[in-house]
Amino acid sequence: AKRVCLSDVKAFHEVFKKSKNIVVLTGAGVSAESGIPTFRGSGGFWRKYQATDLATPTAFKRDPSLVWEFYHYRREVVMAASPNKAHTALAEAERRLTAEGRQFNVVTQNVDGLHLKAGSSNVLELHGSLMKTRCLKCEDVRENRDSPICPALEGRGLPDVNSCSSSIPTEQLPRCQSGSCNGLLRPHVVWFGENLDSGVLAEAERLLSACDLCLVIGTSSVVYPAAAFAPSAAARGIPVAEFNIEESPTVHDLLSFYFKGPCGTTVPEALS
Ligand code: BJW
Ligand code: ZN
């Protein structure tokens, strides 16, 4: 594939102008400039744990208190965070293109809700949301913005390596508020080894198969099934543009455009 860099933003504008159906795939990097830690690399640690080691059903079964401390901390970070210039540029592009009768959809791996906070409406959350809980007993899913999410987690979840685990008894962890259920709640997110919601996945595949331009912003593109989306678009001959501070090995060879740099700068330029 032809590879172009930041200096060719004009060539990108030509393609962008003509496209009628754009899908934007985002990952943790789009929220990095809002102060949300990414998963991989040096920022991906909470205490001595790699974030990805806590995002598993096994970790939750072994130590629900520890995993809830981790999610409580992240909920508080996200509730205090604001969308950055990349989120805003995507929301503005959606408004502009929709008014022109063009399709503009964000498919995000992020659980932080910042695309919605920025004003995007066409957002598909592949991996769930930090602001939703699910009951292990009755499966009830509901939005929850309580801060703290329960009294026992107040002031807990501090990320520095020397903080010790609180070992909160499960009865004091977040519990189901539906009727008299009182089951243990978990974050309504998709952990490793768990299936994505089948309706959400089908919708993502439908959007990807209908787009005529695909943007990939701030994802290492290593986690499936999302990692297969851009390659599937490229296989149809659709132009794919990546915005990242570093090249993602898994998608780089199929790119039409690569804009290296912080997406808070590169995305507003490209979508202007
Ligand atoms: C910037 C920037 C700036 C920084 N500007 N850029 C096929 C092959 C191999 C394995 C599998 C496979 N199919 C399934 C699997 C297993 C697994 C998987 O993919 N493993 C791989 C690691 C190999 N997948 C699953 O388990 C999925 N389920 C599934 O497939 O079900 C079927 C199944 C069932 C049973 C067994 C096997 C399969 C589920 C995946 C769920 C992922 N969940 C998480 C946690 C969500 C909850 C939470 O937040 O706590 O989702 S893990 C984590 O990774 C999170 C993210 O959404 C996801 C992706 O990470 P992302 O967004 O790419 O972040 P980073 O940190 O990796 O990258 C940041 C990027 O930004 C970097 O590139 C930076 O350079 C860049 N950046 N600052 C621009 N300012
Ligand atoms: Zn319940």
- What tens digit of pLDDT does each residue of 237-264 get? 999 999 999 988 777 778 889 999 999 9
What percent of the chain shows pLDDT beyond 70? 97
Res 2 pLDDT > 50: no
Query: What's the pTM?
Result: 0.96
**Are the C-beta atoms of 88 and 175 separated by less than 8 Å?**
no
Q: If we measure between CA atoms, which residue out of 75, 218, 81 comes closest to residue 147?
A: 75
Q: What is the pLDDT of residue 33?
A: 98
What is the three-state SS of 77-118? HHHHCCCCHHHHHHHHHHHHHHHCCCEEEEEECCCCCHHHHH
Give the position, in ligand 1's atom list, of the atom nearest the Cα of 221.
63
Catalytic residues: 127
* Strand 141-143 with 128-135, pairing: antiparallel
Give the position, in ligand 1's atom list, of the atom nearest the Cα of 246.
75
Six-digit token string for 226: 């999302």
* Out of 93-97, 126-130, 250-254, 259-263, least confident range: 250-254
- Centre of ligand 1 to C-alpha 37, Å, is 14
Res 205 pLDDT > 60: yes
- Centre of ligand 1 to C-alpha 182, Å, is 31
- Centre of ligand 1 to C-alpha 160, Å, is 24
How many whole angstroms separate alpha carbon 28 and alpha carbon 4? 24
Predicted ipTM beyond 0.90: yes
CB distance 252 to ligand 1 below 6 Å = no
Contacts of 228 (CB under 8 A, 6+ apart): none
Give the position, in ligand 1's atom list, of the atom nearest the Cα of 41.
66
Q: What is the pLDDT of residue 41?
A: 83
Q: What is the pLDDT of residue 1?
A: 45
Mean pLDDT within 185-214: 98
- Centre of ligand 1 to C-alpha 28, Å, is 9
> Which of the listed residues 31, 68, 223 should we mutate to test ligand 1's pocket, taking the one with most ligand atoms within 8 A of CB?
223
Give the closest residue (by CA) to ligand 1 atom 24: 224
